[in-house]
Amino acid sequence: MTVLQILHKRKYELLLVALIQHLFIGIFLRDLHFYTTIVWPINMLILGIASVGVFVGKGKWKNIIRNLLFMIVWALPIGLPFFGKVPGYFQFLNVAYVVFFLFILWEVMRHLIKPSYINADIISASACGYFLLIEISTFMMQFFFYQNPTSFIGVSTSDPASTFVDLLYYSSITITSIGYGDITPNAHYTKLIASFVGITGQFYSVVLVGILISKFVSKSDNITD
């Protein structure tokens, strides 16, 4: 079995592991500067490789776009030590990441909706969709935060890794509707974004439950027949 075949066969399990390590590897790190300069590019390399299997057999242009987006999101953190102070660099970085994760989410959702059965792939893809929403939310909020650091209260500005961790935390508790209140939006547009993110997270959960139940019922009916 070739590497490409393995990536395709275990595509959603690998993508899920890659997303979790990208979002939560900071649990095991104390040096956030090391995270920014070394771990972040490695994380994105792992995530880029893990996403290859999702696009196997999806057509030439989809793979070209995925490869192009991956090269951009992998190169951007590498360029931080050199171009991090350039105006607009972080805004471009966050837009690129939102587009990259939206592109993957689109394929994941297509997989969730199509089949009339439920298996390990469907469960893994469902979890991937949830973590992709957190990724998209985090980088979307970062985009507005770097435009206006006063748009959120309670977010650290000491370094890019601290800002990322704070907004990842905020995105997670917003999507899960926990809402501790230690970080709060402080501009009308970030308040609206937070509202939209919370609604989207709840909508995804409701739709996902409906999809999984319909697939389970369909499978049960086929067994009965």
Count of alpha carbons within 13 angstroms of residue 179, beta-carbon side: 9
Residue with tokens 């991090």: 84
What domain range is 174 assigned to?
Answer: 3-224
**Position with higher pLDDT, 202 vs 118:** 202
Banded model confidence at residue 221, pLDDT cuts 50, 70, 90 = low
pLDDT recorded at residue 219: 57
Task: Please state the rounded mean pLDDT for residues 30-56.
Answer: 92
Task: State yes or no: pLDDT of 89 exceeds 70.
Answer: yes
Task: Please state the rounded mean pLDDT for residues 108-116.
Answer: 83
What is the SS3 string spanning 59-88?
A: CHHHHHHHHHHHHHHHHHHHCHHHHCCCCC
Encoded amino acid at 33, one letter? H
Q: 69: buried, middle or exposed (CB in 10 Å: 19+, 13-18, 0-12)? A: buried
Task: State yes or no: pLDDT of 1 exceeds 90.
Answer: no
Alpha carbon distance 74, 55 (integer Å)? 18
**Position with higher pLDDT, 30 vs 115:** 30
For 150, the enclosing helix (H) or strand (E) is none
Q: Which of 35-44, 90-99, 127-136, 202-211 has the lowest mean pLDDT?
A: 202-211
Number of domains in the chain: 1
Q: What is the DSSP string of 113-180?
A: HS-SS--HHHHHHHHHHHHHHHHHHHHHHHHHHHH-GGGEES---SSHHHHHHHHHHHHHHHHTT---
Alpha carbon distance 167, 36 (integer Å)? 15
Task: Please state the rounded mean pLDDT for residues 3-16.
Answer: 89
CB contact at 8 A, 190 and 152: yes
- Considering the chain, what percentage of its residues have pLDDT values greater than 70? 95
pLDDT recorded at residue 31: 87
Task: Please state the rounded mean pLDDT for residues 104-124.
Answer: 85
